[in-house]
A and B are shown apart, each in its own frame.
Chain A
Amino acid sequence: MSTVEEKSQEVTEEQPDDATPVDPPEPPPATEAEPKGGILPAFLIGIVASLIVGWVVFPQLLYSKKRQPVDFNHAIHVREVGNDCAGCHYFREDGTFSGIPKLDKCVECHAEPIGISREEADFIEKYVATGTEVPWYVYAKQPPCVFFSHAAHIKMGHMECATCHGDIGESEHARVYQENRITGYSRDIWGHNISGYTRHTWESMKMADCARCHQKENVHQSSVQTKKGACFVCHK
Chain B
Amino acid sequence: MKVGRRRFLAFGIGGAVGTALTPLPWKLMDDISIWTQNWPWTPVPPKGVVSHVNSVCTLCPGRCGITVRKVGDRVVKIEGTKGHPVNDGGICLLGLSGPQFLYGPSRVRSPLKRVGKRGEGRWEAISWEQAVSEVAKRMGELRAKAEPHTVGCLLPEDRGSVAQLFARLLTVYGSPNVMRRPSIEDTYEMALYQTHGIIGRPGFDLQKTTFLLSFGSGYLQGWGSPVHMFRAHSHLLSNSCRVVQVEPRLSISAAKADRWMAVKPGTEAALALGLCHVIVKESLYDKAFVDKHCQGFDAWTDEQGQKQPGFKELVLGNFTPATTAEITGLKQADIIELARNFAKASRPLAICGRGNGSVPGTLGEFMAVYALNALVGSVGRSGGVLALPEAEYLQWPAPEMDEVAAKGMQQQRLDGAGGDKYPLARYRTSYLAALLKGGGYPLKMLLVAGENPVYDLPGSTELKKALADIPFLVSFSSFMDETAAMADLVLPNHIYLERLEDVPPVFGLPKPLLQLCRPVTAPQFDTRHTGDVIIQIARALGGGVAAAFPWPDYESCLKQVLGGHFARLHKDGYLEGRVPELRFETASGRFEFINTEYKAKPAYTPVIPQGDKGVFPLVLTGYDSMRLAGGAVADSPFMVKSVDDTVLKKGDVLVEVNPHTAGQQGLAEGDAVVLATPAGRARVRVHLSHRVPPGMVAMPRGLGHTAYDPFIGGKGVNFNELIAPVPDPVSGLDAAWGIRASLTKV
Which A positions have Cβ atoms within 8 angstroms of B?
A: 32, 34-35, 38-40, 42-51, 53-55, 58, 62, 96, 143-145, 180, 182-185, 190, 194-196
Q: Does A96 lie within 8 Å of B50, measured CB to CB? A: yes
Roughly how many angstroms separate A58 CA and B22 CA in the complex, as a whole number? 10
Told that A45-B11, A47-B21, A143-B37 touch, could you supply 12 new A-B pairs with CB distance under 8 A? A35-B2, A42-B8, A45-B14, A46-B10, A46-B12, A50-B16, A50-B18, A51-B21, A54-B18, A183-B31, A183-B35, A184-B38
Chain B residues contacting A48 (CB-CB under 8 Å) are 14, 18
Q: Does B19 lie within 8 Å of A53, measured CB to CB? A: yes
Q: Does B31 lie within 8 Å of A143, measured CB to CB? A: no
Roughly how many angstroms separate A159 CA and B19 CA in the complex, as a whole number? 39
Q: Does B23 lie within 8 Å of A54, measured CB to CB? A: yes
Q: Does A49 lie within 8 Å of B15, measured CB to CB? A: yes
Q: Does A182 lie within 8 Å of B32, measured CB to CB? A: yes
For window 466-517 of B, CB contacts with A under 8 Å fall at none
Q: Does B15 lie within 8 Å of A50, measured CB to CB? A: yes
Q: Give the interface SS of chain B, mostly helix, strand, loop or mixed.
A: helix
Tell whether B578 is near chain A: CB-to-CB under 8 Å: no
Question: How near does chain A come to B363, taking the closest CB pair, in angstroms?
Answer: 50
Roughly how many angstroms separate A144 CA and B16 CA in the complex, as a whole number? 35
Q: Mark B24-42, 1 if CB is under 8 A from A, else 0.
A: 1011101110110110000
* A53-B22 CB under 8 A given contacts A47-B17, A62-B27: yes
Q: Does B23 lie within 8 Å of A44, measured CB to CB? A: no
Question: How near does chain B come to A148, taking the closest CB pair, in angstroms?
Answer: 13
Roughly how many angstroms separate A195 CA and B23 CA in the complex, as a whole number? 5
Chain A residues contacting B14 (CB-CB under 8 Å) are 42-50
Chain A residues contacting B28 (CB-CB under 8 Å) are 182
Chain B residues contacting A195 (CB-CB under 8 Å) are 23
Q: How many residue-residue contacts, CB under 8 A, span A and B?
A: 106
Roughly how many angstroms separate A32 CA and B3 CA in the complex, as a whole number? 12
Roughly how many angstroms separate A194 CA and B22 CA in the complex, as a whole number? 9
Chain B residues contacting A43 (CB-CB under 8 Å) are 10-11, 13-14
Question: Closest B-chain residue to A206, C-beta based?
Answer: B30
Tell whether B571 is near chain A: CB-to-CB under 8 Å: no
Question: How near does chain A come to B472, taking the closest CB pair, in angstroms?
Answer: 50
Tell whether B4 is near chain A: CB-to-CB under 8 Å: yes
Question: Closest B-chain residue to A189, C-beta based?
Answer: B34
Q: How many residues of B contact A (CB 8 A)?
A: 34
Roughly how many angstroms separate A182 CA and B1 CA in the complex, as a whole number? 39
22 of the cross-chain contacts (CB-CB < 8 Å) are A35-B1, A42-B8, A46-B10, A46-B12, A46-B15, A47-B15, A47-B21, A48-B14, A49-B11, A50-B18, A50-B21, A53-B19, A58-B23, A58-B24, A58-B27, A62-B31, A143-B37, A144-B38, A182-B28, A182-B34, A194-B23, A194-B27
Partner among B6, B27, B31, B32 whose Cβ is within 8 Å of the Cβ of A34: B6
Partner among B6, B16, B24, B35 whose Cβ is within 8 Å of the Cβ of A182: B35
Tell whether B666 is near chain A: CB-to-CB under 8 Å: no
* A42-B19 CB under 8 A given contacts A144-B44, A182-B35, A183-B34: no
Question: Closest B-chain residue to A39, C-beta based?
Answer: B10
Q: Does B7 lie within 8 Å of A190, measured CB to CB? A: no
Chain B residues contacting A39 (CB-CB under 8 Å) are 6-7, 10
Tell whether B399 is near chain A: CB-to-CB under 8 Å: no
Question: How near does chain B come to A89, taking the closest CB pair, in angstroms?
Answer: 15
Most buried by A among B21, B27, B28: B27
Q: Does A144 lie within 8 Å of B45, measured CB to CB? A: yes
Tell whether B5 is near chain A: CB-to-CB under 8 Å: yes
Chain A residues contacting B50 (CB-CB under 8 Å) are 96
Which B positions have Cβ atoms within 8 angstroms of A?
A: 1-2, 4-8, 10-19, 21-24, 26-28, 30-32, 34-35, 37-38, 44-45, 50
Roughly how many angstroms separate A182 CA and B8 CA in the complex, as a whole number? 30
* A196-B18 CB under 8 A given contacts A35-B4, A143-B34: no
Roughly how many angstroms separate A184 CA and B21 CA in the complex, as a whole number? 25
Roughly how many angstroms separate A38 CA and B30 CA in the complex, as a whole number? 36
Chain A residues contacting B37 (CB-CB under 8 Å) are 143, 145
Question: How near does chain B come to A139, taking the closest CB pair, in angstroms?
Answer: 16
Q: Does B10 lie within 8 Å of A40, measured CB to CB? A: yes
Chain A residues contacting B24 (CB-CB under 8 Å) are 53-54, 58
* A182-B31 CB under 8 A given contacts A49-B15, A54-B22, A58-B24: yes
Question: How near does chain A come to B75, taking the closest CB pair, in angstroms?
Answer: 17
Question: Closest B-chain residue to A181, C-beta based?
Answer: B31
* A51-B18 CB under 8 A given contacts A39-B7, A42-B8: yes
Roughly how many angstroms separate A180 CA and B35 CA in the complex, as a whole number? 10
Chain A residues contacting B15 (CB-CB under 8 Å) are 46-47, 49-50
Question: How near does chain A come to B454, taking the closest CB pair, in angstroms?
Answer: 39
Q: Does B5 lie within 8 Å of A34, measured CB to CB? A: yes
Q: Does B18 lie within 8 Å of A47, measured CB to CB? A: yes
Chain B residues contacting A96 (CB-CB under 8 Å) are 50
Question: How near does chain A come to B604, taking the closest CB pair, in angstroms?
Answer: 49
Q: Does B38 lie within 8 Å of A42, measured CB to CB? A: no
Roughly how many angstroms separate A190 CA and B27 CA in the complex, as a whole number? 9
Roughly how many angstroms separate A40 CA and B17 CA in the complex, as a whole number? 13
Roughly how many angstroms separate A196 CA and B29 CA in the complex, as a whole number? 14
Chain A residues contacting B32 (CB-CB under 8 Å) are 182
Chain B residues contacting A47 (CB-CB under 8 Å) are 14-15, 17-18, 21
Chain B residues contacting A196 (CB-CB under 8 Å) are 23, 26-27
Q: Does A46 lie within 8 Å of B11, measured CB to CB? A: yes
Q: Does A50 lie within 8 Å of B13, measured CB to CB? A: no
Roughly how many angstroms separate A145 CA and B45 CA in the complex, as a whole number? 10
Q: What 9 A-B pairs come out closest when comparing CB atoms?
A: A54-B22, A46-B14, A50-B18, A47-B18, A43-B14, A42-B10, A46-B15, A144-B44, A42-B7
Question: How near does chain A come to B47, taking the closest CB pair, in angstroms?
Answer: 9
Roughly how many angstroms separate A44 CA and B18 CA in the complex, as a whole number? 9
Q: Does A46 lie within 8 Å of B23, measured CB to CB? A: no
Roughly how many angstroms separate A47 CA and B17 CA in the complex, as a whole number? 6
Roughly how many angstroms separate A180 CA and B32 CA in the complex, as a whole number? 11
Partner among A38, A144, A180, A182 whose Cβ is within 8 Å of the Cβ of B7: A38
Question: Closest B-chain residue to A46, C-beta based?
Answer: B14
Most buried by A among B2, B7, B16: B7
Question: How near does chain A come to B77, taking the closest CB pair, in angstroms?
Answer: 10
Chain B residues contacting A50 (CB-CB under 8 Å) are 14-19, 21-22
Partner among B18, B31, B34 whose Cβ is within 8 Å of the Cβ of A46: B18
* A51-B11 CB under 8 A given contacts A96-B50, A144-B44, A182-B35: no
Most buried by B among A40, A51, A55: A51
Roughly how many angstroms separate A145 CA and B2 CA in the complex, as a whole number? 53
Roughly how many angstroms separate A58 CA and B28 CA in the complex, as a whole number? 10
Most buried by B among A49, A55, A96, A144: A144
Question: How near does chain B come to A33, taking the closest CB pair, in angstroms?
Answer: 10
Question: How near does chain B come to A152, taking the closest CB pair, in angstroms?
Answer: 15
Question: How near does chain A come to B23, taking the closest CB pair, in angstroms?
Answer: 5
Question: Closest B-chain residue to A57, C-beta based?
Answer: B24
Question: How near does chain B come to A232, taking the closest CB pair, in angstroms?
Answer: 15
Roughly how many angstroms separate A48 CA and B19 CA in the complex, as a whole number? 9
Chain B residues contacting A145 (CB-CB under 8 Å) are 37, 44
Question: Closest A-chain residue to B25, C-beta based?
Answer: A54
Question: How near does chain B come to A121, taking the closest CB pair, in angstroms?
Answer: 30
Partner among B7, B10, B26, B34 whose Cβ is within 8 Å of the Cβ of A185: B34
Roughly how many angstroms separate A19 CA and B16 CA in the complex, as a whole number? 50
Question: How near does chain A come to B302, taking the closest CB pair, in angstroms?
Answer: 65
Chain A residues contacting B11 (CB-CB under 8 Å) are 42-43, 45-46, 49
Question: How near does chain B come to A100, taking the closest CB pair, in angstroms?
Answer: 12
Question: How near does chain B come to A44, taking the closest CB pair, in angstroms?
Answer: 6
Chain B residues contacting A143 (CB-CB under 8 Å) are 34, 37-38
